[in-house]
Amino acid sequence: MSDALKTFSSKEFVNRSREIESVFDAIKSKSKGVLIFEGDKGSGKTTLLFELYRRLSEDSALSPFLVSLSAYSAPEFTTKPTGCWVEQKDFTRDDVMPLLKAVAKHLDVDFIETDQKDLQKEYLAKSFATRNASASAPVLLVDSIYECSEELRNEIEKYIFSSILSSEKVFLILSGRGKRPVWVRQELQTAEISPLSNLAEDYVKEMLKKIKSPRVSQYKEISRLSGGYPLIARVMGTSNKDLPEALSDAIDMMLADAMPSEKDWETIRAQVEKLSLVNITFRISDVEDYIFPNEKDRHIKTVQVIEKLNDANLMRYEGKGYQLNKSLLFPLRNYILEKQNSEEYQSYIRDLEEVSQHLQTEYPAAKSWYQRMVPEGLKIHKS
């Protein structure tokens, strides 16, 4: 993804007043708590946490510490080296020990020094749990906590979250996308969850003005095509291409950023496009004939696509089946609706209709379900 899209700028921040007020209200009325902001990729979670950190830093009674587990940049915070852990690389287990020491320094707590890494982590964790209760209330903000590996998240919970939550005064403010973790600590299990909503039209317009987009007058169309997802709308607002192609570029950026190690991520685009048209939660057997028609190894290939999308947190299992995250599904579907007259997308629609009809015949008890497989608005051109 473009560096400009992974750089925080408070001057460009829009909306989220409700979420910010809820955080300050909680801190004023309680002495302890855990709040988690959830949202799909591109919904503005990172920007919200960074803005919260900036505003919390202005309150002398609070002691905020920001940790970004995903690569990001925040030039505005370079003057606060003990208050944030933001790097232009993803967080790894090697960073846990330096982070523990940075948090200890920030909280002004003493700890025993040792060359044994695991023992050092235990000493640091104990120092957080026994910190002076009369000190200022720490607020720990951690971005992308769901997305990191389970092994890394377990270490963070064990050595930081669990120990710091033993204190009388503390607030954890987290953000994540994808599947919720299985937490050990009770306070994390019962955390207050706040889903982030999409930007309304007026906020898309405000954002376009703040980034000095030449397309402010097109805010309604950008809002419609992007689905109100800030990342998509921002890319469209800074592009000089026509809006459908700008939308396509934004989708490519999202795929590339979510799958940085996937060298052939472009080759998965066609399958993701096809899956975005499936209007129901689906099983692998429902879609394998659709996304890989006439291929003998279609089941294996479909499994591979689903696994890649799951690993990238671009898809989730909804209980009865899979579905793309809405921040990818809606923009992709809108793009295809704009381009549905092309032969490529006409073939997608025909294939989906054919699979839907086949599944209705094969599973008559679920006929009404498979009738919903094709979204409204798609039209097959008669030859």
Token pair of 365 as six digits: 């008890």
- What is the reported pLDDT for 62? 84
User: Is pLDDT above 60 for 97?
Assistant: yes
pTM of the prediction? 0.90
With beta carbons less than 8 A apart as the criterion, state whether 314 and 325 touch.
Answer: yes
> How big is the chain by its Cα radius of gyration, in Å?
23
Instruction: Give me the percent of the chain exceeding a pLDDT of 70.
Output: 95
Q: Strand pairing of 322-324 and 315-317?
A: antiparallel
**If DSSP codes are grouped into helix, strand and coil, which group holds residue 143?**
strand
With beta carbons less than 8 A apart as the criterion, state whether 172 and 161 touch.
Answer: yes
Token pair of 74 as six digits: 């925040």
pLDDT in tens, 221-278: 999 999 999 999 999 999 999 999 999 999 999 998 888 766 667 788 999 999 999 9
- What is the reported pLDDT for 133? 62
Q: Compute how many other C-beta atoms are within 10 angstroms of the C-beta atom of residue 296.
A: 8
Q: Which of 1-10, 78-87, 113-122, 361-370 is modeled with the greatest confidence?
A: 361-370
Strands (E), 162-263: 170-176, 192-195
Provide CATH 1.10.10 ranges for the chain.
265-371
Exposed, middle or buried, 226 (CB in 10 Å: 0-12/13-18/19+)?
Answer: buried
Using the Cα atoms of residue 145, residue 151, residue 152 and residue 157 in order, give the sign of their dihedral. Answer: positive
For the chain, what is the mean pLDDT?
90
With beta carbons less than 8 A apart as the criterion, state whether 198 and 43 touch.
Answer: yes
Closest CA to 49 of 74, 81, 82, 32: 74
pLDDT in tens, 290-329: 999 989 999 999 999 999 999 888 998 877 899 999 999 9
Q: Which amino acid is at 69?
A: L
Q: What residues pair up with 171 in beta bridges, in sequence order?
A: 33, 139
Place of tokens 């030039």: 75
Report the topology of domain 265-371: Arc Repressor Mutant, subunit A (1.10.10)
User: Is pLDDT above 70 for 36?
Assistant: yes
Q: Compute how many other C-beta atoms are within 10 angstroms of the C-beta atom of residue 281.
A: 15
pLDDT in tens, 126-139: 988 887 765 667 89
Using the Cα atoms of residue 295, residue 300, residue 306 and residue 309 in order, give the sign of their dihedral. Answer: negative
CATH 3.30.540.10 at 3-195, yes or no: no
User: Is pLDDT above 70 for 281?
Assistant: yes
Q: How far apart are CA 254 and CA 85, in angstroms?
A: 24
Place of tokens 């006929």: 367
**If DSSP codes are grouped into helix, strand and coil, which group holds residue 106?**
helix
User: Is pLDDT above 80 for 2?
Assistant: no
Query: Which region, left, alpha or beta, applies to residue 178 given φ > 0 means left and ψ of -120 to 50 means alpha?
Result: left
How confident is the model over 79-97, as a mean pLDDT?
82
Provide CATH 3.40.50.300 ranges for the chain.
3-195
- What is the reported pLDDT for 346? 94
Place of tokens 């192609």: 245
Q: How far apart are CA 231 and CA 228, in angstroms?
A: 9
Q: Which of the pair, 363 or 85, is modelled with greater confidence?
A: 363
With beta carbons less than 8 A apart as the criterion, state whether 79 and 92 touch.
Answer: no
User: Is pLDDT above 90 for 6?
Assistant: no
User: Is pLDDT above 80 for 79?
Assistant: no
- What is the reported pLDDT for 263? 64
Q: Strand pairing of 170-176 and 137-143?
A: parallel
Question: Helix/strand/coil (H, E, C) string of 11-57?
Answer: HHCCCCHHHHHHHHHHHHHCCEEEEEEECCCCCCHHHHHHHHHHHHH
> CB under 8 Å, gap of 24 or more: what pairs does 212-221 form?
213/237, 213/238, 218/243
Greatest alpha-carbon pair distance for the chain in Å reads 78
